Structure 1
Amino acid sequence: MPRKIIITGGAGFLGRRLTEQLRRPDAPEAAGTIVWYDQPAAIEAARATAPAGVELVGGDIADPEGLAALLDEPEIGIFHLASVVSGQGEQDFDLALRVNLDGTRALLEASRRHTAKGHGGVRLVATSSVAIFGPGSGPVGSDAAPPRPGTTYGMTKAVLELMINDYARKGFLDGRVARIPTVIIRPGAPNAAASSAASAAFREPLAGRPYVVPVAPETRMAVGGVAGVVAGLADLYRLPGEALGEFRTLTFPSVSATFAEMLEVLRRTVPAEALAPVTFEPDPQIQAIVDTWVPRTEGDRALDLGVGAVDDLDAILRDYLDREHPDLVPQRKQSPS
């Protein structure tokens, strides 16, 4: 593994957990310097809580010079997580294009110039999304299913996949893409993603805050636990390039669950007196976005290559309780065997 790893969007939830994953003592290869490259405001907010030894750099993801300045070692590793998310992308088309497409292009061009200087090259893992699939993709998202995005966010991720695949084909960098499901359970405040309801349905009642789910209870989503997703990203990074072949994208496995099923797991695991009420009041805009996504994914190729693992809702909830609500852990109900 290159001694320097750059994580764009590193100050966010996924970047923090990925940093922890890369620094695990049992990791096959230890990461050296880890750099979080994020919006200046996000970097300033992260200074008090960033792990020791992580370098914090604020900048514009679409600034090629700022990105190039980070590529100052012969071999560089990059995890490209920075992105405008689904709901925000529908509201601000130009911002989605600037961050998700112009930002990705700037990063790829900086990597291309780095390789052209005769350095050891750049290995890049970028996150795509199951939002690249839509009503015309069929009922299951997979490596073989055709991308038919029904949102601006999904469109930008489909273009990202094609760009990285072609830059890798040209030998400009060693690129690979992870098509990840909706990642749960995110702590903190909800973000602008339409998918944030899947985390909020667990997080808010556990925090004692009543929550109104903005989609119908029978709405089914493809979700994945953060522990499994960041482990899969690290696996994909370490995978030899030749194992991927010409198609550099892997669809990650997921759990297919309705919101009613998510709440059933929560209520059978945590005593009722520890939970705030949850009700349903579908928001037409959010429901319309979520309804364009495939409700399940098939990650057979990823699993065959040793990337990621099959998750389950009980394990995802246990991980969240251990980290965010250890006071509730002794009160857990006995889960069914």
Structure 2
Amino acid sequence: MNILITGGAGFLGDRLARTLLQQGTLRGQPIQQLMLADLVPPRDTALLADASVRHHTGDLLAQIPALMAQRWDAVFHLASAVSGECEANFDLGLHANLDTTRRLLDACRAQTLAGHPPPLFFFSSSVAVFGSDAAVPLPAVVRDDTLPTPQSSYGIHKFVCEQLVADYTRKGFIDGRAARLMTVSVRPGRPNGAASGFLSGLFREPLAGQPSVCPVDRDTEVALSSPVNTITGILTVAEASREAFGGRTAINLPALTVSVRQMLQALQDLVGPEVLSLIRDEPDAAVKKIVHSWPSRFESPRAAALGLSPDPDFDSVLRQYAQHHVEAVTHPAARQRLGL
């Protein structure tokens, strides 16, 4: 099994690669090669030390001819320009999201038309495909049959790409699976341009002894998933049979619904008020507009039928981050409370 991961140097791409190497197979087939494609090389030296891992750097759209000169059994398309970037730079969003995905799908199509089996094509969509339109108000709870009406360029890009994946699957060019990821928290590393980035920064930075700002009302509710639960969802969807996945419509992965206030309370309960004191409120109208357009409550029976469930609470999400990124928790009070 030869596997291509776009966005392979990102934190989800890195974690997906490490998980695949750990399990050694995909769909019951041994993994022979992992190609990680991104703008920059992976930072995980242990990952790069594995003989089966290769990496390719540069703008993905420009690199597709070279990348797709080799036949891939599976493509995990995680790369994209994120929400805040797409609002700030319209052309960047079109280039990185729509143009790149279409070109990648066409390369997979050419592979199939050359006589090879249709490759597995996993597309990481987003909760941002949902929003409240004047003609179609967003319901209090998003269900599997809720009509997507995105209210941001990023959300529109994701929804368009979902439909392309569905149509290329209908035509037999790929075995496409699109899954709508919830906001992933807590993300390690540096902040990115996502409007939801504060939902990691509110915890990552204070745990490292650095200040952080809250750009939205603390009673704002959000739909979250931990990194581990997100990767579990991605691989479960990728490995499910066509019949178990059910149709070609994107699947909503499970969501933990929690308010920012509840998240901050979990942080205080876990590591004490000294860490929480590093957070200040600094309203940001642009971030608030985007985040408030996203739904926070989901019922996802399709995901449940695949055995997927949301994280139990935000306390467990914080503990997962502290356990997996001990080196990033440097605040003395946090280290003492966590026994690090």
Give the TM-score, by structure 2 length.
0.90
For residues 1-337 of structure 1, the aligned pairs below 5 Å read: 3-25=1-23, 29=28, 30-39=30-39, 42-43=40-41, 46=43, 48=45, 50-53=47-50, 54-63=53-62, 64-69=64-69, 71-72=70-71, 76-135=73-132, 136-274=137-275, 277-306=278-307, 308-311=308-311, 312-325=313-326, 328=334, 331-332=337-338
8 A Cα contact 2:35 2:56, kept in partner: yes
Q: 1:55 offset after TM fit, Å?
A: 0.6
Distance 2:31 2:301 in 1: 28
- How many residue pairs get aligned? The number is 324
Q: 1:48 offset after TM fit, Å?
A: 4.5
Distance 2:142 2:82 in 1: 19
SS at match of 1:79: strand
Distance 1:89 1:108 in 2: 21
More divergent stretch after superposition (209-218 vs 269-278) = 269-278
Distance 2:122 2:249 in 1: 10
Cα deviation code 1:78-100 (max 9, x no counterpart): 11000010001000111101111
Cα deviation code 1:100-127 (max 9, x no counterpart): 1111001100000001111122101110
Q: 1:329 offset after TM fit, Å?
A: 6.3
Amino acid corresponding to residue 212 of structure 1 in structure 2: V
More divergent stretch after superposition (147-156 vs 27-36) = 27-36
SS at match of 1:177: strand
Distance 1:163 1:88 in 2: 22
In structure 2, relative to structure 1, the CA distance for the partners of 1:27 and 1:185 (3 Å cut) is: farther
More divergent stretch after superposition (15-24 vs 128-137) = 15-24
SS at match of 2:68: helix
Q: 1:4 offset after TM fit, Å?
A: 1.0
8 A Cα contact 2:61 2:103, kept in partner: yes
Distance 1:254 1:329 in 2: 29
Percent of aligned pairs sharing the same letter: 38
In structure 2, relative to structure 1, the CA distance for the partners of 1:51 and 1:142 (3 Å cut) is: farther
In structure 2, relative to structure 1, the CA distance for the partners of 1:31 and 1:270 (3 Å cut) is: farther
SS at match of 1:282: coil
Q: 1:324 offset after TM fit, Å?
A: 1.6
More divergent stretch after superposition (266-275 vs 79-88) = 266-275
Distance 1:205 1:196 in 2: 14
8 A Cα contact 1:207 1:275, kept in partner: no
Distance 1:7 1:49 in 2: 17
SS at match of 2:151: coil
8 A Cα contact 1:225 1:316, kept in partner: yes
Distance 2:278 2:289 in 1: 25
Q: 1:47 offset after TM fit, Å?
A: 7.0
Cα deviation code 1:1-59 (max 9, x no counterpart): xx1111000100110111122123487745331110111xx12x637564422211113
8 A Cα contact 1:133 1:147, kept in partner: yes
SS at match of 2:94: helix
Q: 1:211 offset after TM fit, Å?
A: 1.1
Amino acid corresponding to residue 147 of structure 1 in structure 2: P
In structure 2, relative to structure 1, the CA distance for the partners of 1:85 and 1:49 (3 Å cut) is: farther
Distance 2:269 2:242 in 1: 43
More divergent stretch after superposition (48-57 vs 6-15) = 48-57
SS at match of 2:12: helix
List runs of 5+ in structure 1 lacking aligned partners: none
Coordinate RMSD, CA, aligned: 2.0
